[in-house]
Chain A
């Protein structure tokens, strides 16, 4: 049996990759260790969050599945940072860990051109530095034109609790034993990473009266630009907030030597994520903090597990019992699953092209945790891009490469291939230089056209975008062309809104620039009928016009440097004056442009100047 594209792994990256390829009419095979675990959420039960929520919308704009699936499968949803500016708002939902994978599996099974096979992949078939197939654990060979590896944490996975270490993946699944060794033989640099997950507590054993409930928003939201809300506001399930106690801290401090991480046990080589430290790590590093916040998050309507967010640890079971029981409301809590740390192999993401194709093996793509990232959303967006680009490659088309000013996805991939990864990479708003441009509300305006061009957005959805764009422009023109004059009635209205009365005529456009004037207030002067998405875009564009302009100017400067291309055959050893660190980094990363070279750590401005002069002289 031959396939055009094989996707290895059925996590969030694998699902998006498989769907993108098959939707683009390529015969696709998804190989996964356990079909039941496709689109599983082995860690936190949420989709979205700061920056990540914007990525989900970007995935949706490009024609990916995560947003649609999350809309079908959540327990509550809220807009984060809704008191802050539009650039940093993002949706987050508590996803149901039963229905989310189920819904995704249904979508995959219905998908034309897509087949699913249950097996582990242990080797790749390579001919002349080009991939031609995979070898399964039973020795079976399957041939294809392109492969996308989305192996998650399953490469040589080790689960660690206290002083025990077992070779297995999440849920006791079997990991891949040989694939990472085989990748190493092909020339990939293998790094070891580590992450962890906290305890699951039996809902019925928690005294919720000692906790503070955290509800979903009381207005409707959807991740997808196309779905209508499928839930009722009042049916949303709350999370609950608690804090660690002095006793918790005492227990942890007294038992630090028993933690895999702090006790020097287990010979841990993996590097853990900085942004998601274990509770013992937090207590050691922030010793002056009296308490730490923890969230009790429901995992599903269909079982009783509560996810204890913020309490991940690699302490042995008996200590975990004591720690959990020191928490308010959890005095008698029953631990259903203990916290554990997991160590796994990943490849060095510097060995990737911006298309997510590997530099070493043609037509081999990688996405998700194998590239050193962490998080469902980070994985999904890479899967989508790898899927699109593998398909485009087979179609002899240019890859889809998003720039840093176009999408968080662009920021993420550029960071991976330029800066590399030392600890599991999580997207943060602070990683985006032009985040005022990369808002959740304009993801469709930024990316839908590209989704349409690569063939994942259909005519109907594309026309919807064009209509929205047209209405935005219309409304802006209307506001520019309509003026109000200093009549008493108008000034009284302005005073009522705590705004200064006008002395001369002013366009509605300029009036809307005033911070206290909202777009709804404009209805007082002129009757316009547009939907709230259009009104929102117009308001943001007018209110923050100056800042958006500045961000665009900065982005243009960056693009100019991005357009200064570095030939792929450049020999850095011929450039005499480069600092040796810079030379080494440049040889490793092989930046495609000056813009990318600047972002490489260890390459300083003087090196860039030398490089630019070298290129200009055309030596």
Chain B
């Protein structure tokens, strides 16, 4: 008998209600132990039951409990879903009660894994469902659906075909060396072909990263000195865009302060560990912590005060962010200018003058973000990118091999040996579209799913 697993199925803190899912042979029994209302063991399958979750005599929350008996459920096992009121504390308390009463906390993706194991869905579906579940915006839903239909693999297939043709020619030279009239592949001929492969892979990676942006949003961190206006900027953006989420910890390791949509793309504004409370991020958490945030983010907004001169610390951070996507905001343009713009050693196109209190420059900022990530272009794309982390990682692995090929060619290594690396790329691409197999696939696949569907 398999153990009964549980997890919070909704993003923690998001929305008015949370759902806790329980799956396994004991799920109804266990929930019944902490439920006050009808005897859940006696209710019909696929019914919703009103009652309370209790801890001994104490009422924890008013809930609706859905009972779905095997086999017509997602996992094909008995499933119970508890709809409770959204707060983090309540949800976590209920989860804790379930664990105390005999559930095991589900591994990442374990519900989907069970669905797969029990034959409800196939592997490719499992992967795409993972994306679908995690879809955060309309565009990303299209993306996940697209992956289900399999169009994603076409670009890879074409590229693979190109490589295969090169491989075949090298092989024929080896196997039929006496045939003088067969075109002989040499390192010189290979070189432009490998360059083409590199261009294609780079292009797919770029597109995939766009795909990632659609799906996961742009992680944006706002940093700057105390009182430079960070929280004002945040509040203004959130107000204007009618924030989707506020004040609540997200499901990921980052604390999301708020999310806004620009052109349908989600912009995650990452809280720099208390941006609102202390207003002195750089000072309190130090430069090192700022660097950590910088490394994690897709976009860094660094705020400067028009009314203050640039100092050493600013320069250090400016220097660091140059490697990333960055926007420099010069705030408080309504105050006298003390900042010499010529001393800011960055691309001047990335500087925006603002007076947040007077609502000046907000549109410029949004347009800047839009241009920087080509959000217009993303909109026009047909979403044919690789969007899951596994595929993208594999593609990057393939790209990493290319310099070895150049080196081999440069060192005059015989072509049939250089071919080892070319073939490896071909194999990796095959793995992405499921034409070759690797042992770790299934574990990676399931662990990348968010906790509990």
A residues near B (Cβ < 8 Å) are 50-51, 80-81, 84-88, 214, 241, 289, 291-293, 295, 428-430, 435-436, 515-516, 544, 547, 550-551, 554, 557, 560-561, 576-577, 598, 604-606, 608-610, 612-613, 617
Distance of A586 Cα from B424 Cα, bound (Å): 27
CA distance A84 to B170 in the complex (A): 11
A605 touches B179 (CB 8 A): no
Proximity bits, B388-432, A CB within 8 Å = 1, else 0: 000000000000000000000001111111001100100000000
Between A and B, 18 residue pairs with Cβ closer than 8 Å are A81-B177, A85-B416, A87-B417, A293-B180, A429-B174, A430-B174, A544-B413, A547-B413, A547-B417, A550-B420, A550-B424, A557-B438, A560-B439, A605-B123, A605-B441, A606-B434, A612-B439, A612-B442
How does the 8 Å CB contact mask read for B169-182 relative to A, with 1 for contact and 0 for none? 00101111111110
Q: Which residues of A contact B439 (CB under 8 A)?
A: 557, 560-561, 612
- In angstroms, how far is the closest chain B Cβ from the Cβ of A148? 29
- For A612, list chain B residues within 8 Å (CB): 439, 442
**Distance (whole angstroms) from the CB of B169 to the closest CB of chain A:** 11
> Considering the chains assembled together, what is the distance between the CA atoms of A311 and B288 in angstroms?
75
Q: Which residue of A lies closest to B125 (CB)?
A: A606
Cβ-defined contact, B417 with A604, below 8 A? no
Q: A295-B178, A561-B439 are in contact. List 6 more A-B contacts (CB 8 A).
A: A428-B171, A544-B413, A554-B424, A557-B439, A605-B435, A613-B442
Task: Write out the residue numbers on chain A whose beta carbons fall within 8 Å of the beta carbon of B411.
Answer: 515
The minimal Cβ–Cβ distance linking B115 to chain A, given in whole angstroms, is: 11
Complex Cα–Cα for A557 and B437 (A)? 11
Which chain B residues border A241 with CB–CB below 8 Å? 180
In the complex, which residues of chain B have a beta carbon less than 8 angstroms from the beta carbon of A547? Answer: 413, 417, 420
Across the interface, A577 reaches (CB within 8 A) one of B122, B174, B176, B181, namely: B122
Closest to A429 in B: B174
The reply to whether the CB of B51 lies closer than 8 angstroms to some CB of chain A is no
B273 at the interface (CB under 8 A from A): no
Neighbouring A residues of B177 by C-beta, 8 Å:
50, 80-81, 84
CA–CA, A50 and B182, complex, Å: 16
Q: Which residues of A contact B420 (CB under 8 A)?
A: 436, 547, 550-551
Alpha-carbon gap, A561 to B439, bound state (A): 7
On chain A, the residues within 8 Å of B442 by CB distance are 609, 612-613
Q: A84-B415, A515-B413 are in contact. Are A293 and B179 (CB under 8 A)?
A: yes
- What is the minimal beta-carbon distance from B122 to any residue of chain A, in angstroms? 6
In contact, B434 and A81 (Cβ under 8 angstroms): no
Residue of B nearest to A290 (CB): B181
The answer to whether B175 and A428 have CB atoms under 8 Å apart is yes
Interface residue? B119 (CB, 8 A): yes
Q: B117 to A604, Cβ gap below 8 A? A: no
Interface pair A606/B416, CB less than 8 Å apart: no
Within the assembled complex, what's the spacing in Å between the Cα atoms of A608 and B431? Answer: 13
| Complex CA distance for A85 and B416, rounded to whole angstroms | 6
Q: Is the CB of A84 within 8 A of B441?
A: no
- Complex Cα spacing A241 to B416, Å: 26
In the complex, B310 has a CB within 8 A of chain A: no
Instruction: Determine if A293 and B181 form an interchain contact, defined as CB atoms under 8 angstroms apart.
Output: yes
Chain B residues with CB under 8 Å of chain A are 117, 119, 122-124, 171, 173-181, 411-417, 420-421, 424, 434-439, 441-442
Q: In the complex, what's the smallest C-beta–C-beta distance from A554 to chain B, in angstroms? A: 8
Is chain B's interface secondary structure helix, strand, loop, or mixed overall? loop
With A and B bound together, what is the CA distance between A292 and B182 in angstroms? 10
A605 and B436 form a contact (CB under 8 A): yes
Q: Is the CB of A609 within 8 A of B119?
A: no
Residues in A with CB closer than 8 Å to B438 are 557
State the Cβ distance, B325 to closest chain A Cβ, in Å: 35
Q: Give bound CA distance, A50 to B117, whole Å.
A: 46
> Given the complex of chains A and B, what is the CA–CA distance between A560 and B437 in angstroms?
13
Contact of B434 among A85, A436, A605 (CB under 8 A): A605
Q: Are B437 and A85 in contact (CB under 8 A)?
A: no
Q: In the complex, are the beta carbons of A80 and B178 less than 8 A apart?
A: yes
Q: Are B416 and A291 in contact (CB under 8 A)?
A: no
> Is the CB–CB distance between A50 and B176 below 8 Å?
yes
Beta-carbon nearest neighbor of B122 in chain A: A606
Q: Are B171 and A84 in contact (CB under 8 A)?
A: no
Please give me the residue from chain B that is nearest to A427 by CB atom: B175
Contact (Cβ within 8 A) B417 A436:
yes
B437 touches A430 (CB 8 A): no
B175 contacts A606, C-beta separation under 8 Å: no
Q: Known contacts A577-B119, A613-B117; is A50 also within 8 Å of B417 by CB?
A: no
Task: Across the A-B interface, give the 4 residue pairs with the lowest CB-CB distance, nearest first.
Answer: A85-B414, A430-B171, A606-B123, A605-B437
Q: Are A609 and B174 in contact (CB under 8 A)?
A: no
Flag if B174 contacts A291 (CB, 8 Å).
no
**Residues in chain B near residue A88, CB distance under 8 A:** 174, 414, 416
Cα-based distance from A293 to B176 in the complex (angstroms): 12
A88 to chain B, nearest CB (A): 4
Which residue of A has the minimal Cβ distance to B411?
Answer: A515
Q: Are the C-beta atoms of B437 and A51 separated by less than 8 Å?
A: no
CB distance from A594 to the nearest CB of B (A): 8
Contact indicator A85/B175 (Cβ below 8 Å): no
B122 touching A85 by the CB < 8 A rule? no
Minimum CB–CB distance for B78 against chain A, Å: 19
CA distance A204 to B424 in the complex (A): 52
